[in-house]
Chain A
Amino acid sequence: MRQLLILSLSVLALAACEREDREYRANPVTSETEEKIALSPLSAGPSGPTEQRSGLGQQYEENAYHIAQGKRLYIWFNCNGCHAHGGGDSGPPLLDDRWIYGGQIENIVQTIREGRPNGMPSFRGKVPDDQIWQIAAYVRSMGRNVPKPAAPGRNDDMHPGPAEQRRPPGEVMDGGQIPPAAQMPQ
């Protein structure tokens, strides 16, 4: 009798098993989220800049499916044409901790959506919003700024450097310094 009790209790524990939620179907009527993000910690007056995050970024950053889709889209939309596999080429590197326009996921989404001077095109209206978030989540995973279990694993094809999952976790410098590559018009 006691065995049966223990058995049924341990079956109950299975209820705690939760699979990662994969959201395939983006809401077709959602509009862009209103994120208030500062590019620099500097602001006038004694208090820092006011920021307001919708929390969507965290959802994307902690979801292995979204990051893996972002990795696929990164190649499909030719991000590697300028940024290579994160090491940078004619575009700035994405692996390091220097961010010209901020390294938070909300900053990266804004950079992809709006474009930036000296070459970064705007993808608003060309890449659906949920895919922009996915790409930004993947960019965050390049320097391993996402949780280890969510970062992509080994590649099927040849890839420079270790898989995102095996990279040491990075620290983002908000605002960041401007690398020489970005100071001069190109």
Chain B
Amino acid sequence: MRRIAPALLLLCLPLGGCQHWQSVLNARGPAASTLAHMFWIFVSVLATVWVLTMIALLLALRRRRPEDADPLATNPTTERRMTITISVAIGLTLLTVISLTGLSYAAQKVLFAHKDGALTLLVTGQQWWWKITYEDSQPNRVFTTANEIHIPVGEPVLIKLESSDVIHSFWVPSLTGKMDAITGRQNQIQIQADRPGIYRGQCAEYCGLQHAHMGLIVVAESKEDFERWREQQISSAIPPGDEERQRGMEIFMSKPCIMCHQIRGTDAGGKIAPDLTHVGSRRYIAAGTLETTRGNIAAWIVDPHGVKPGVNMPTIQLEPDEVQPLASYLEGLK
């Protein structure tokens, strides 16, 4: 007992991780709640079955057959009792299996029931980041961002999933289950957050070297905050105000950056890497890898392969005095 108790305590320690922003057990949306309920129902039913079976087994082990008993002798009363016990056990097993199966089907109906929502997003999985396009019936209100989704609380949001290279899987554990993003087809999933907060998502299908660093965050906020954010994201980048940032912009425009990145409102129009129009307003850079600070931006530009080995961002040649203006220009793109 003296050894078992610490071991049990140690085993319980990982449970502490279940309360964070990326946890199935920390359900904050209808789909995730359904899944969490299913999880707890399955765990409790199956745990009960396991405990009962173990008790029966232990009793059977403890109860010895009398020494002089004849193994072939039959007793009609015992025979009848055995038949009843076994029939009940089989009946209960069937009942458990059938009701759990029925429950799973019912839960699937809830999970894949589509409600009409005002907001539709196109999320494209790429090695190793998420491209997010907010669709709108007015073309001038469509905008693209990366790795950060904002949604209004309490509203269903439809997410169309595509992939531009290999199979990825969109998974925000606190809001919904997984859905694959597959090349050449479009999958759909609906997310809804019932409480404001920041939830982390992660690619859940191994997609290459930096699969582990392919995160995204979902920010659920009030309708007013969301609309303010959306208006700000639709707008073009603010021109740099001071001299240093002006120089940073010139450096950005004269380097290979513009081959891949877009900054709306400037000449940079590449579309194969994350849109940087409002990169400073996003909480993380490099798909949830580094917090957006000037230092991290500089570190990322100078040596992307030190942070994410094998990433598709190349090492570009910069003079030492070019790093600081470039980083402060990008940090200032709020």
A interface residues, Cβ below 8 angstroms from B: 22, 24-29, 72, 76-77, 125-128, 130-131, 156-157
Contacts and interface: CB of A to CB of B under 8 A. Distances in A.
Contacts of B314: 26, 128, 130-131
Given A128-B317, A156-B165, A25 B256 contact: no
B259 interface: yes
Contacts, number: 46
Contact of B315 (A25, A125, A156): A25
B255 A28 contact: no
B303 A29 contact: no
8 contacts: A25-B309, A26-B315, A28-B302, A28-B318, A29-B317, A126-B259, A127-B256, A157-B183
B317 to A, nearest CB: 6
Closest 8 A/B residue pairs (Cβ): A25-B305, A128-B314, A24-B310, A76-B272, A24-B305, A26-B315, A28-B315, A24-B309
B260 A128 contact: no
What secondary structure prevails in chain B residues at the interface with A?
loop
A37 to B, nearest CB: 23
B254 A156 contact: no
Interface string B192-205: 00000000000000
Q: Is the interface of A mostly helix, strand, loop or mixed?
A: loop
B91 interface: no
Contacts of A29: 317
Given A25-B305, A25-B315, A28-B317, A76 B260 contact: yes
A156 B166 contact: yes
Contacts of B305: 24-25
Given A22-B310, A25-B309, A128 B272 contact: no
Interface in B253-281: 254-256, 258-260, 272
B147 to A, nearest CB: 19
B316 interface: yes
A76 B255 CA distance: 17
Nearest to B308: A24
